[in-house]
């Protein structure tokens, strides 16, 4: 029987730069008040590639992460650079099952270049941080929130992400505090 440490694990599947990941880990730590570890990961994404859509099926990736060996971490989130979809949506930024052990997030559609704008690493990191915190919120049992600035507000478009903060509203914070160790 393995013991679960009260730590969030971010798994680098996207060959992200160390400073980029450290900044995200620091923001996640500040929002959840839990230590955050970052580890390198490798996975074969080919089975999840849909050649017609030219995207990766997030359901398959998430299922694969969940079925891998049980994590010793409280929650884990895989970080990717690929274009994700689920069958009912054209694209998604991330996904996690409510109260599940893991989630995924991708910065592919968070890049300004996708929308014909100039590259901006600060904006990219801020957007990715919000997606990571949002998906971890789902993993901790939070549902979508209607408060306009709450990180748990649903984000269909990148503009939705830009309009919200990376923090939980007071109601989501109360709900989260009840489940955090």
Distance between first and last Cα of the chain: 19
Catalytic residue among 113, 121, 135, 159: 135
Separation between Cα atoms, residue 94 and residue 83, nearest integer Å? 10
Task: Let me know if 40 is a catalytic residue.
Answer: no
- The residue among 140, 134, 67, 147 whose CA lies nearest residue 104 is 134
- Token pair of 152, please? 């748990």
**Those residues with Cβ within 8 angstroms of residue 80's Cβ, 6 or more apart along the chain or in another chain:** 13, 14, 45, 56, 61, 104, 105, 106, 107, 108
* Residues labelled catalytic: 135
């Amino acid at each position: 029987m393995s013991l679960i440490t009260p730590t969030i694990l971010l798994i680098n599947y996207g060959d992200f730069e160390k400073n980029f990941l450290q900044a995200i880990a620091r923001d996640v730590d500040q929002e959840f008040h839990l230590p955050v570890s970052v580890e390198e990961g490798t996975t074969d994404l080919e089975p999840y590639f849909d050649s017609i859509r030219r995207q990766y099926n997030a359901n398959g990736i998430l299922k694969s992460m969940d079925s891998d060996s049980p994590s010793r971490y409280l929650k884990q989130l895989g970080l990717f650079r690929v274009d994700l979809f689920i069958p009912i949506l054209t694209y998604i930024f991330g996904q996690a099952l409510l109260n599940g052990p893991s989630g995924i997030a991708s910065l592919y559609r968070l890049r300004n270049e996708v929308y014909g704008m100039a590259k901006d690493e600060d904006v990219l990191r801020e957007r990715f941080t919000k997606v990571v915190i949002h998906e971890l919120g789902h993993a901790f049992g939070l549902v979508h929130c209607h408060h306009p600035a709450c990180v748990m507000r649903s984000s269909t478009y990148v503009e939705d992400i830009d309009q919200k903060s990376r923090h939980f509203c007071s109601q989501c914070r109360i709900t989260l505090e009840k489940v955090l160790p």
